[in-house]
């Protein structure tokens, strides 16, 4: 989010190649994040679409719905682990 709280961006990092993808979001709430990630997922190369790992933030709130809609598992990152 920028200083004026007017724009929000999500990120996706591919761990093997360390590729970073910026995903524009309409808002910070879990539903906006879920919809944007599901839409972006369609554009990714197949290996990057297989699973998703979230950090431990509030945007993870709709991870079960994301899994149902995309038929791909979502994992949660463990704190203090790379």
* Structural domain harbouring 62: 8-76
**List of the chain residues with pLDDT < 70:** 1-5, 50-60, 76-82
Write down the pTM of the prediction: 0.55
Answer yes or no: is 20 within a domain.
yes
Answer yes or no: is 14 within a domain.
yes
Handedness of CA 59, 49, 40, 64 (dihedral sign): negative
Count up the domains in the chain and report the number: 1
Answer yes or no: is 2 within a domain.
no
- Per-residue pLDDT reduced to its tens digit, 58-77: 666 777 777 787 777 777 66
Start-to-end C-alpha separation, the chain: 24
Answer yes or no: is 1 within a domain.
no
Answer yes or no: is 54 within a domain.
yes
């Amino acid at each position: 989010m920028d200083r004026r709280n007017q724009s929000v961006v999500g990120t996706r990092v591919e761990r093997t190649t360390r590729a970073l993808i910026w995903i524009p979001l309409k808002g910070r709430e879990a539903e906006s994040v879920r919809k944007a990630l599901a839409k972006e997922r369609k554009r990714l190369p197949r290996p990057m679409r297989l699973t998703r790992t979230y950090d431990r933030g509030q945007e993870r709130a709709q991870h079960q719905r994301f899994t149902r809609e995309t038929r791909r598992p979502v994992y949660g990152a463990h704190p203090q682990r790379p």
